[in-house]
Amino acid sequence: MFIADTSYAATLQDHLNRTVRFALEEDLGNGDITAQLIPLETAAKASVITREAGVLCGREWFTETFRQIDDQIQLSWYVEDGNHVQPNDTLVDISGSARSILTAERCALNFLQTLSGTATAAHHYASRVAETPVTILDTRKTLPGLRLAQKYAALVGGCENHRLGLYDRFLIKENHIMACGGIRPAIEYAKALHAEVAVEVEVETMTQLDEAIDAGADIVMLDNFDTDATRRAVERAAGRVKLESSGNFDLDRLNADLAAGAQVDFISVGAITKHVQALDLSLRLIMQPADK
C-alpha cells in the first residue's frame, strides 16, 4: 500500500477488511438472487475502464471485495494508487466465475470510484500549493464508515492528514473555550492532560489569536478569516506559532490568499472528502465460450 508508517498501515488494513465486509453484507443480504440466474460454472472476463481523467486510489479495497466474494477470481492491474489515468484507460482485467464477478462488481467499483474521486480532489488542491511552503490538510468531514479510507486517499492525492479522530490531537474550539473558562485555561489543561499531544486552538478574532499565542498553543486555526484578515494574522503572528486557515475553502479562495500574501502554514479543506465526486468508472464483461 501507499503508507510508509507501518502502524498506520496495519490500522488501515484492518479498517479495509471491516469496511469491505460491511459493504458486502449491506449489499448481499441473504444472497445475490439475480446472479443465481447464471450457472455457477460459467466463466467470464471483465475489464474496468475510466471514462474521465483522475488519480487512481482504492486498489486494495477493490481487490479485497473480490477476495471476500471469491478468492479464485484473478485480477491483473495496470495502474498503482497515485497514478494519473486518462479517459478509456484500462485499470484492471478480471477473470473467473461470471456469477462472482457480477456479485462483487458494484461494491468494488463503489470503493474504487469514491476513493479515486477523493484522491483526484486532493490532487487539485495540492498541486496549487506545490511551489509554496503551504500544506493542504483534510478534515474529519468524511463519509461515515470511510474515515481512514478517505484520509488514505487524501495522502495519495498529495495532501496531508489533519487529526484522524478525536483521540490524536487537541482542537480547542469555541464551545470548548467557553466550557473551560477561556483560551489559557483550556490550553494549560490540555498540556497537563497529554503533554505529548499537539494543542491547536480555533480563533475568530485577532485578540483571540494573541491569547492563543501567549498561552502556548502549538497551532492556531483561523476560523473563517477572509483573505485580508488572514494576511494581517500572518503579519501579527510573525512566525511565533503555526497558522492554519479553515472555513469554506475552494480553489478560487486558495488562489486569492496566495496572491495576496496570506500564506499560512496549513489550509484545511473539508471539500476534499465531503464534496467528493466519484470518478466515472465502468466494468465491461466478456463471456468466455464454454468448453466443448
- Is 292 an active-site residue? no
Give catalytic status of residue 106 as yes or no: yes
Task: Return d(Cα 148, Cα 151) in angstroms, integer.
Answer: 5
**CA-CA distance, 212 to 204, in Å (whole number)?**
11
Q: Which long-range contacts (CB under 8 A, 24 or more apart) does 213-220 make?
A: 213/237, 213/240, 213/241, 214/184, 215/183, 215/184, 215/187, 215/188, 216/187, 216/191, 217/183, 217/187, 217/241, 218/242, 219/243, 219/244, 219/265, 219/266, 220/244
| Cell 461470471 -> residue | 98
User: Is 280 annotated in the active site?
Assistant: no
Task: Please state the φ and ψ torsions of residue 147, each to the nearest 5 degrees.
Answer: -55, -60
Determine the Cα–Cα distance for residues 135 and 264; give it in Å rounded to an integer.
9
How far apart (Å, rounded) are the C-alpha atoms in residues 14 and 3?
Answer: 14
Active site annotation includes 141: yes
Amino acid letter, residue 36: Q
Q: Is 45 a catalytic residue?
A: no
**Which listed residue (140, 147, 169, 173) is catalytic?**
173
User: Among the options 202, 211, 244, 257, which is catalytic?
Assistant: 202
Of 70, 204, 223, 226, which is the active-site residue?
223
Q: Are 45 and 94 in contact (CB under 8 A)?
A: yes
Decide if 142 contacts 62 (C-beta within 8 A): no
Annotated catalytic residue within 45, 67, 140, 141: 141
| Ramachandran quadrant class, 29 (left: phi over 0; alpha: psi -120 to 50; beta: rest) | left
Q: Which of 21, 51, 106, 284 is catalytic?
A: 106
Residues with Cβ within 8 Å of residue 216, at least 6 apart in sequence: 187, 191, 199
Q: Which residues are catalytically annotated? A: 106, 141, 173, 202, 223
